[in-house]
């Protein structure tokens, strides 16, 4: 089915005081995410993928080692990634639900260690990509990083948290300081209730 650009779940200026400016969200949502939607729709038109869900397209078109050449995959996966990303952030500033805190502590030793691992994964991703907290098929939690638009769906994992580390996500607010963007994301921007709902 045709891709559809979702509205942000908050106002464009809602995260301004938390380190993600209105300008960043306008560019990121209205131009970058919209381009994935528009280009994806052009590429799937008239193909076997036209009637499939975005998740089916991502899983069905992923080819390890050939991501850069794979237009349908790249646009579908980036559309899915950004849709999750907007929902994983929020202006509410609510605390972390107890079930998530417990799961992170069991998997990583502490919430602080999870954040350290997640930030390190995002900082270490060479070039464009994503840092993730995933739930594997066996139920275990892991921190991963992926190139370009590759995401946990490709590996049969559930995405609990994802952080866009493409430069377009942080250059306006943090210039080249990706680690500062990641630290701010974890401390101020994540909607932990959304993350917990994915467990
Ligand atoms: Fe992005």
Q: What are 17-75's pLDDT values in tens digits?
A: 999 999 999 999 999 999 999 999 999 999 999 999 999 999 999 988 877 779 999 99
Say what the pLDDT of residue 92 is: 79
Rounded distance from Cα 166 to ligand 1 centre (Å): 6
Rounded distance from Cα 178 to ligand 1 centre (Å): 14
Q: Give 134's pLDDT tier (boundaries 50, 70, 90).
A: very high
For range 137-151, the mean pLDDT: 97
For range 135-152, the mean pLDDT: 97
Q: Let me know if 94 is exposed, middle or buried by CB neighbors in 10 A (0-12, 13-18, 19+).
A: exposed
Rounded distance from Cα 167 to ligand 1 centre (Å): 8
Kindly report the average pLDDT of the chain as a whole number.
Answer: 96
Q: Which helix (H) or strand (E) holds 67?
A: none
- CA atoms within 13 Å, Cβ hemisphere of 132: 27
d(CA 186, CA 119): 8
Say what the pLDDT of residue 111 is: 98
Q: Which helix (H) or strand (E) holds 25?
A: helix 22-25
Residue 5 has pLDDT above 80, yes or no: yes
Say what the pLDDT of residue 177 is: 98
Share of the chain above pLDDT 90, in %: 93
Share of the chain above pLDDT 70, in %: 99
For range 121-132, the mean pLDDT: 98
Say what the pLDDT of residue 65 is: 80
Rounded distance from Cα 109 to ligand 1 centre (Å): 30
Provide the 10 A C-beta neighbour count for residue 32. Answer: 15
Rounded distance from Cα 25 to ligand 1 centre (Å): 10
Structure tokens at 148: 């370009």
Is the pTM of the predicted complex or chain greater than 0.85?
yes
Say what the pLDDT of residue 67 is: 75
Say what the pLDDT of residue 1 is: 80
Provide the 10 A C-beta neighbour count for residue 30. Answer: 13
Rounded distance from Cα 28 to ligand 1 centre (Å): 6
Q: How far, in whole angstroms, is CA 156 from its chain's centroid? A: 16
Among the ranges given (71-80, 85-94, 144-153, 169-178), the one the predictor scored with the smallest mean pLDDT: 85-94
DSSP state at residue 8: P
Q: Report the SS3 class of residue 87.
A: helix
């Amino acid at each position: 089915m045709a891709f559809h650009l979702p509205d942000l779940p908050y106002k464009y200026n809602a995260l301004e005081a938390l380190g993600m400016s209105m300008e960043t969200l306008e560019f990121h949502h209205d131009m970058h995410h919209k381009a994935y939607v528009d280009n994806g729709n052009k590429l799937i038109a008239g193909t076997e993928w036209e009637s499939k869900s975005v998740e089916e397209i991502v899983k069905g078109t992923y080819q390890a080692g050939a991501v850069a050449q794979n237009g349908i995959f790249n646009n579908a996966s980036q559309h899915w990634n950004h849709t999750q990303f907007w929902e994983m952030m929020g202006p509410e500033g609510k605390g972390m639900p107890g079930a998530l805190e417990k799961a992170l502590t069991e998997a990583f030793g502490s919430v602080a260690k999870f954040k350290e691992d997640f930030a390190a994964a995002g900082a270490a991703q060479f070039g464009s990509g994503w840092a993730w907290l995933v739930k594997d098929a066996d139920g275990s939690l892991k921190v991963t990083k992926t190139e370009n638009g590759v995401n946990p769906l490709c590996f049969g994992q559930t995405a609990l948290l994802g952080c866009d580390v493409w430069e377009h996500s942080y250059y306006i607010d943090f210039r080249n300081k990706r680690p500062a963007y990641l630290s701010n994301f974890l401390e101020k921007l994540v909607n932990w209730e959304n993350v917990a709902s994915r467990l």
